[in-house]
Each structure stands twice: as C-alpha cells, then as structure tokens.
Amino acid sequence: MKLHSVVPAVIKTGLGIGLFALAATAQARGATGSADIVSCDPAVDVTGKVFLKERPSAEGVKIVDIFMHVRGLSAGKHAVHIHETGACTPCGAAQGHFDPGPNSNTSPDGNHPFHSGDLVNIEVNHHGNGVLRTSTSRVTLSPGPLSLFDADGSAFIIHVGEDTYCPDGAVAGCAGGARAACGIIVPN
C-alpha cells in the first residue's frame, strides 16, 4: 500500500498523526518548506521569502538547503537563525534558538554557535536587498527529533546585527541582538 493512499484516512484520526503522515509523504518526495519574512517593527518595511528543501547526503545524513531573499534591512551583515516556535506576533513569540538536543540551551548567546538553528549571516547591500544560500545538517523537514515541523513549529528570525559566532562565549548581543524580521516555516 502506498503512503499517499493512507494519508486521508490517517488525517481523520487526529491532527498530530495527520501532520506526521503529511511530513512522511513530503519526505518521500523530498520534503520542502517555505516562510514569508515580515518586519518585527511595523514602522519598517522588511519583506522576503525563504525556500527550504531536504535532500539525502552520500553519508545518509539529511541536508536542508535554504534560499532566502529579503529587502528592507539596513546594509551590512545580519544574523539568521531558526527559532524554536512557529510564531511571529510579536517576534519574541518565536522563543529561543531551535536546539532540541539533550543539552539544549536556547539562550541566544549561551550555546552559540552550536544550536541546531544557527545559520550564517545574510549580507544586505546598500539598496537593502540580501540573498542567502546555505545548507545545514542540523535540522530536518521530515519527522524526527530535528524536524522543524514539530508540534509547535519553527520560525526564521533575522536580527538587527551581525552574528559574530560568540568567540568569547556568552557576550550579550554576539548572536545578532534584537529581532528585525520573522517568518513562520510551513511545509509545502
């Protein structure tokens, strides 16, 4: 029996099981996701889009490719992280950095740059446009402990400052400081 023929019946049995079935179906196709980026400050017009695609690696580890484009941010580097909750109103509702491991520490500066959701900076030009292409093996789009599609979802946060990757340990603001923009990650 093919999984896609089971999904409608499974969805009727409960949301959690239904979400698992949808994620399993997406995994079979190569799971994908996206996020619409919106400003954390209503007085600033930051917009953008993020596309995610999971693929297997030669070693059997899942890799998630991320393509982000934004506009409306100040020129320079801005920290980009995946946060633990799929909420953006207010941007603080996204909670801390995504870090489901056994020694998880979602404090932005406390375990940085070793959170599962830590990504590289996005470079924004003097016109306010930025593009980020990166890949990570720290998260997945398919079911499991590293899935961004867990019970409370996940969100991208773009910070007002650069991520220095905290070489001196937990120094306030080393992970990018305040939140400039947010995008809830949804499966496609």
**pTM of the full structure:** 0.80
| Beta carbons within 8 Å of 122's beta carbon, 6+ residues apart | 68, 70, 73, 77, 78, 80, 130, 131, 132, 158
| All structural domains of the chain with their residue ranges | 1-29, 31-187
Predicted confidence (pLDDT) at residue 34 exceeds the cutoff of 80: yes
Other CB atoms within a 10 A radius of the CB of residue 48 amount to: 24
Asked if residues 181 and 35 have their Cβ atoms less than 8 Å apart, the reply is no
Task: Using the structure block, give the residue that is written with the tokens 């909670």.
Answer: 95
Residue 4 has pLDDT above 70, yes or no: no
**Which pLDDT score, from 0 to 100, does residue 167 have?**
85
Asked whether residue 124 carries a pLDDT value surpassing 90, the answer given is yes
Q: What is the pLDDT of residues 64-111, one digit of tens each?
A: 999 999 999 999 999 999 999 999 999 999 999 998 876 666 666 666
Q: What is the mean pLDDT of residues 39-45?
A: 96
What was the pLDDT predicted at 1?
Answer: 33
21 — pLDDT class (breaks 50, 70, 90): very low
Residue 3 has pLDDT above 50, yes or no: no
Q: Is 137 left (phi over 0), alpha (psi -120 to 50) or beta?
A: alpha
Q: Is the pLDDT reported for residue 185 higher than 80?
A: yes
pLDDT (mean) for 105-128: 83
Q: How high is the pLDDT of residue 120?
A: 97
- pLDDT for res 107: 66
Mean pLDDT within 41-63: 96
Report CA 2 to chain centroid distance, whole Å: 30
Question: Domain 31-187, what fold?
Answer: Immunoglobulin-like (2.60.40)
DSSP string, 117-132: TB-PPEEE-TTSEEEE
